[in-house]
Structure 1
Amino acid sequence: MKNKVYLGFLILFVIFQTPLLRVHAAEFDYKSAEFKAVASQFRCTCGCGQDHFECDPNTCNETKEFKQDLVDMMKKGWDKDKIRDYYVNIYGEEILTAPEKSGFSLAAWTLPFAAIGIAGAGLFFVIRKWVKRKAPDETNETVQDIEEEVEGEILSSLIDEERKKYL
């Protein structure tokens, strides 16, 4: 008897749950959070540099059609990854706002930053070496001190000779 009651509840749940699922799938529009998540992963092809969620449909005809296609796909039950794969197969990775996190795309986005970092570190060490090389060492200081003392003695002797002439 319990099994029949449970089976009855299961049948009623399935009957009443199915229309709710259909209504939920039909609720996608341009302002829903699911649409924003899907549309913001694609760059607009009109050249404005924005993603399709941010691109203004009043000035861009391409984004109108694209957004309508996205809503239609979402109403059919396509998920974010399936829609992404579909457009990547058509347009290539250029349509994505963020690169794939694997393969050549990852290397293409990270290697320039790594090269700049390595070049900056190398430049730091070269400049540091130049500064150390230009710093006076002890032998140069003693020679300069001796030269200054000699010049001082010569000047003081010249001054003394001039004083003796007039005094």
Structure 2
Amino acid sequence: MPDRKGRYIDMVKKIFAIMLLAVLAGMPAFAAEMYDYNSAEFKDNASQFMCMCGCGQDHFECNMDGCGLNDSFKTEILEMMNDGMTQDEIKNHYTGMYGEVILTAPEKKGFSLTAWITPFAALGAAGAGVTLLVRRWVNKSRLNTDHFEDSEPKDKESELEEEILKAMVDEERKKYY
């Protein structure tokens, strides 16, 4: 009797193992997601490359009539995605083929990092230079004005002349305005 029970358990284990293998063998078919032109992953992949037809748009947004490059490029990307290639692998494939010219944005490493940093650094340096120049001009004009005011003592006569001149200017303004 124990021998029969042991065979029964062995048979159940074998059936369970076969069923488990069948399920595991079918998992890649279920796990492989099929992408289409409307999927977000496809948009991310296609929009990282510039269209080479001269429209200035990325491959996802290119809508130029007769752009045969865009249709074949989109088809290639979709095939690569459905074959299981990652976004980085697709990017490396096309940058190896066309160079960094095909990318919509330069990579943030190596020499390409200069393309990201240089405009902001130049703008910051120019802003700092203009600020220093304006401060120097303001300080220089203050020194000149202070020196001029200190060197010329004001007396009652000059103050009276200034008031008369201001009154005359105000009268003339009233006539024309």
Please tell me the residue identity of whatever aligns with 2:91: R
Query: 4+ runs of 1 displaced by more than 4 Å?
Result: 1-6, 148-154
Q: Residues of 2 paired with 1:68 and 1:57: CA distance? A: 16
The runs of 5 or more residues in structure 1 that have no matched partner are: 155-167
Partner of 1:127: 134
Deviations along 1:67-107, one digit per CA (max 9) or x if unpaired, are 11111212222111111001001111011012111111011
Deviations along 1:113-139, one digit per CA (max 9) or x if unpaired, are 1011111111101111101111212x4
Q: Residues of 1 paired with 2:89 and 2:136: CA distance? A: 55
Q: Does 1:143 align with 2:145?
A: no
Against the structure 1 CA distance between its residues 91 and 140, is the aligned structure 2 distance closer, same or farther, given a 3 Å change threshold? same
Partner of 2:5: none
Higher RCO (C-alpha 8 Å, min separation 6): 1
The runs of 5 or more residues in structure 2 that have no matched partner are: 1-8, 162-177
RMSD: 2.5
- For the 8 Å contact 1:28–1:35, the answer to whether it is kept is yes
Q: Does 1:12 align with 2:19?
A: no
Partner of 1:34: 41
Against the structure 1 CA distance between its residues 65 and 57, is the aligned structure 2 distance closer, same or farther, given a 3 Å change threshold? farther
Q: Residues of 2 paired with 1:46 and 1:96: CA distance? A: 14
- For the 8 Å contact 1:48–1:55, the answer to whether it is kept is yes
Identity %: 42
